Amino acid sequence: MHDKSMTTPVLPPRGKGKPVAVVKHGSAAVPIYKGNVRGTKRFTVAFYRNGQRERRTFGTLDEARDEARTVALNIQRGMASDNDMRPQDREAFQVACAMIEPFGIPLVTAVEEYARCRRKLGETPLMTSVEEFVRRARGFTAGVLVPGLVEDFIALKVQDRMSSVYLKGLRSILRMFAKASPGEIAKVTTQEVDAWLRSGDHSAVTRNNRLKCVKLLFSHARQCGFLPRGEPTAAEGIKRQKHADTDVGIFKPEQMEQLLRAAPVRLIPVLAIGGFAGLRGAEIARLDWSAVDLNRRIIELRAGQAKTASRRIVPVSDNLAAWLSPLQRQGPVVPEKIVFVKLPTLAKSLGIQWPHNALRHSYISYRIAVVQSAAQVALEAGNSPTIIFKHYRELVTKDDADKWFGVMPENPR
């Protein structure tokens, strides 16, 4: 085994033509060229040392042969100053080559890779970093791409019979995330997730909803063994964005009465059920009249209809029953979704502002004034007691609530 100076073929000096003699020793061959220098016959020994061409000139062929023999011998042995490799260096070289031989890579490649690692690690020992990587990598499968993981996660949620509304939001958010980060889930960083959340002009609520979905995806990946167990995911290091509490916009009893009396028949179910039972607009849109039982005075929301994907029973108040009784109650409660667009227009025609989610906010505010129990209203409205207590408590008086639930049609049945 030789270094570069031992294995590089000996080439003739430029413009010298064929050698007059070649001195060999083993696989090493040193040529001798004949020429004239200022009219004097000269003999040149040509060879490479450490990648550089060297020439030594002599007056006689015998002197040139002696030098060529010495050079060839040293090249063959891999020793002396002609190749700058001392015996201990040669031994170290051979040991290093033997150590990397099982990996099938050249020594220089191994050295280059080591040098790159050292530059990245600084003063951290390479073995320490490798052991830490092995510890983290043990037991998890690398190479899982985000887009495929997203589709598998959504398919599981479909199997779990999550509500269509929940699935629609989950698909939208996670597919956008997969488009922004199509690489391996294990290589997604906290900085990348945070940058995606901050992209676009989104409200704090929208950003927090996106973060919640992404956290679920990363937790699923860790549970499946696609991320290291026992370590926080890239999404867990991101905190929810704080947002200022907004005033809850509600209708006064007089305004609700104006709306109901001016509304065409097709708008009354949404107004009455939203204002006197507190169902969300999306829940009303999925509601069938078969779920509205005026005899038992309940509205039954099945798991697939409710936003929380859990069955909910909502009480029907006396005035709600009075508004719904005269209606034809077959099929969908809302045959046309354009009904929801007509409501703000109706309010505007009456000089009434339509705050966001005003019907549901009104119901919860007046209902808690009646029952005085955040837990009960939360159960009926499909919300958390904390939210009910924080946003709706003491917004209206008991007298206001009695007026609200006392809004009746002119000729109630």
Q: What is the pLDDT of residues 226-277, one digit of tens each?
A: 988 778 899 998 988 775 445 568 899 999 999 999 999 999 999 999 999 9
Residues 241, 322 contacting (CB under 8 angstroms)? no
Digit-coded pLDDT (tens) for 285-315: 889 999 999 999 999 988 655 555 567 899 9
The torsion region of residue 382 among left (phi > 0), alpha (psi -120 to 50) and beta comes to left
- As a whole number of angstroms, the distance between CA 231 and CA 195 comes to 21
Residue range 131-149, pLDDT digits in tens: 777 666 666 787 899 999 9
pLDDT at 182: 95
Q: Which residue has the higher pLDDT, 14 or 310?
A: 310
Question: Is the pLDDT assigned to residue 333 strictly greater than 90?
Answer: yes
The domain locations on the chain are 4-87, 105-134, 146-223, 253-404
Q: Please give the residue that has the higher pLDDT: either 287 or 204.
A: 287
- Residues 47-78 have pLDDT tens digits of 777 667 788 999 999 999 999 888 888 877 76
Please give the backbone phi and psi of residue 288, each rounded to the nearest 5 degrees, phi first.
-110, 150
pLDDT at 82: 42
pLDDT at 137: 62
DSSP codes of every residue in 21-71: EEEEETTEEEEEEEEEETTEEEEEEEEEETTEEEEEEESSHHHHHHHHHHH
Tell me which of 71-75, 214-218, 347-351 is least confident.
71-75
Rounded Cα–Cα distance for residues 47 and 113 (Å): 32
CB burial of 146-170 (b: ≥16 within 10 Å; e: otherwise) equals bbebbeebbeebeeeebbebbbebb
As given in the structure block, the two tokens for residue 269 are 């179910």
Looking at residue 54, what is its pLDDT?
83
Tell whether the model's pLDDT for residue 154 goes beyond 60.
yes
How far is Cα of residue 19 from the mean position of the Cα atoms in its chain?
A: 69
Residues 115, 302: Cα–Cα separation, whole Å: 63
Give residue for tokens 């970093």: 129
User: What pLDDT does 113 receive?
Assistant: 85
> What does the alpha-carbon distance between residue 246 and residue 205 come to, in Å, rounded to a whole number?
12
Average pLDDT over residues 320-337: 92
Q: What is the pLDDT of residue 215?
A: 95
Q: What is the mean pLDDT of residues 340-361?
A: 91
* Mean pLDDT to the nearest integer, 119-130: 84
Q: Which of 175-184, 258-267, 375-384 has the lowest mean pLDDT?
A: 375-384
- At 5 the pLDDT is 39
pLDDT in tens, 271-293: 999 999 999 888 998 899 999 99
Average pLDDT, the chain: 83
**% of the chain exceeding 70 in pLDDT:** 85
Within 224-351, residue ranges assigned H as helices are 253-262, 268-277, 281-285, 318-324, 339-349
**Residue whose C-alpha is closest to residue 217's, from 152, 313, 297:** 152
How would DSSP label each residue in 221-247? HHHTTSS-TTS--TTTTPPPPP-PPPP
Quick one: pLDDT at residue 10? Answer: 42
- pTM metric for this prediction: 0.48
Beta-bridge mates of residue 31 = 22
pLDDT digits (tens, 9 = 90+) for 90-114: 778 888 888 888 888 777 788 888 8
What pLDDT is recorded for position 310?
A: 64
Give the C-alpha separation, 139 to 223, whole Å.
11
Residue 62, pLDDT score: 93
CATH of domain 253-404: 1.10.443.10
- CA-only gyration radius of the chain, Å: 42
Proportion of the chain above pLDDT 90, given as a percent: 40
Euclidean distance between CA atoms 404 and 366, whole angstroms: 7
